[in-house]
Amino acid sequence: MPTHFDAIIIGAGQAGPSLAGRLTGAGRTIAYIERKLFGGTCVNTGCTPTKAMVASAYVAQKTRTAAEYGVQAPGPVSVDMKAIKARKDRIVLASRTGLEDYVRKMPNCTVFNGHARFESPKEVRVGSDLLSGDQIFINVGGRAVIPSFPGVNEIPYLTNVSILELETLPRHLVVIGGSYVGLEFAQIFRRFGCEVTVIEKSSRLVSREDEDVSASIRTFLEKEGIRVRTSAECIHFRREANDIAAGVSCEDDPSESIGSHVLLAAGRQPNTDDLDLDKAGIAQDERGFITVDDQLRTNVPGIWALGDCNGRGAFTHTAYNDFEIVAAGLLDNDPRRVTDRIPCYALYTDPPLGRVGLTEDAVRKSGRPALIGTRAMTRVSRAIEKGETEGFIKVLVDAKTNEILGASILGTGGDEAIHCIIDTMYAKAPYTNILRAVHIHPTVSELLPTVFGDLNPLT
């Protein structure tokens, strides 16, 4: 006989724990199943550790360029990987422990450590325990794709999980994938002092962004000494003594990149292949993402999918918003929807890219009449004062309605300044609201009224 709960939550990522809090607060009993580490990817192998290491890398780079600020740094910069890792581990542990304590001490919540698999639409097995629930919430996240490149199984590759365990510096890190995850690691390790090569199959880095954004990011990464190889076809590997040779061409091309370490950062896939979803009849798309409606219900009544595993977002803030949508629908009689969400995210290179809404390319493709405003960071006082003038601001506006369509802020503080635009878009206010606002001097946000004050037709 299964042990019965009002609800079962599978995976302690970014949506489930808060949902457990709301459900138990409403008097429901919960079985919480986590197979590994509380906090999932973000806390343990994603956002938190990488941003801790981005901070160490920033300090290394600032020390390297200290003389430009009139500050004397004693000799060449070197890093202590063990100390960097220890700092990162402390930050991760504090976050994980805080979350785990929150769930374990939750009244009416029973934690099961182990791998969950469906037995039927109402039953889940974890080890020797069979559990049943009136409602089941799947929050199992995703993992790095291991592409079937020739030779990949003959080399000791790294992923976002194992690279975070390094205690010595790679001599030469070859990063496969020039997108969000790959570029953050590339710059981190370059700033730590490694030789770094980025290999990307598209013709440009972060190819979902506009071409000018990709080009600017490539320029500042190359300026720091990162080698970028785009349009890589037929990526393949072979052992070369103690090193790894990464080939980028189908031809017999001598220009292999010989690295001491290879990081695979070529995309993410959902953790849905080992859940026995078929036993519950839960539908997936061709890439394994669980199919959900606008309120994150699967095709099976009483089962929801939240976070990266539903393919409707790939960020911590989208996973958390999934929790808000489900909780609002179930407990607050508030029909929030995924399609009410405005896409926004940041890339944490230095300088970072803050993004919201449509790209310029997407606006062009939509064919709607639009206005565009841009400003180089070399014209932003705060950037000049900080000595961080790489990048630019770009905003797009609907020419008929004055609605803001999207923005990219590639530059110092771009991950924060973008929120002026995000909030204006959520308020459905016209861009003229920002135009008339008085922002604090000297900030990057201060320039936004100026950029919106100098719009031109998008031709």
Ligand X SMILES: Cc1cc2nc3c(=O)[nH]c(=O)nc-3n(C[C@H](O)[C@H](O)[C@H](O)COP(=O)(O)OP(=O)(O)OC[C@H]3O[C@@H](n4cnc5c(N)ncnc54)[C@H](O)[C@@H]3O)c2cc1C
Question: Contact residues for ligand X (CB under 6 A)?
Answer: 10-15, 33-37, 40-42, 46-47, 50-51, 115-116, 139-142, 160, 181, 271, 275, 307-308, 314-317, 319, 348
Active site residues: 441
Minimum gap (Å) between residue 334 Cβ and ligand X: 21
Minimum gap (Å) between residue 263 Cβ and ligand X: 10
Closer residue to ligand X in complex, CB, 320/431 = 320
CA angle 375, 378, 381 (to 5 degrees): 95
Closer residue to ligand X in complex, CB, 209/243 = 209
Question: Amino acid identity of 178?
Answer: G
Minimum gap (Å) between residue 271 Cβ and ligand X: 4
Minimum gap (Å) between residue 167 Cβ and ligand X: 18
What's the rounded Cα separation, in Å, for the pair 183 and 173?
Answer: 12
What's the rounded Cα separation, in Å, for the pair 354 and 418?
Answer: 6
Closest to 177 measured CA to CA, from 222, 256, 219, 235: 235
Closer residue to ligand X in complex, CB, 316/412 = 316
Evaluated on CA atoms 348, 350, 353, 354, the torsion sign reads positive
Alpha carbon distances (Å) from 278 to 114, 189, 282, 290: 20, 42, 6, 11
Q: And the tokens for 404?
A: 């803001």
Minimum gap (Å) between residue 14 Cβ and ligand X: 4
Question: Amino acid identity of 421?
Answer: I
Closer residue to ligand X in complex, CB, 308/446 = 308
Closer residue to ligand X in complex, CB, 13/354 = 13
Closer residue to ligand X in complex, CB, 140/447 = 140
What's the rounded Cα separation, in Å, for the pair 290 and 306?
Answer: 9
Compute how many other C-beta atoms are within 10 angstroms of the C-beta atom of residue 249. Answer: 16
- Beta bridge partner(s), residue 398: 370
Minimum gap (Å) between residue 13 Cβ and ligand X: 2
Q: Which residues of 284-308 are buried (b: 16+ CB within 10 A; e: fewer)?
A: beeeebbebeebbbbebeebbbbbb
Closest to 257 measured CA to CA, from 224, 214, 287, 228: 228
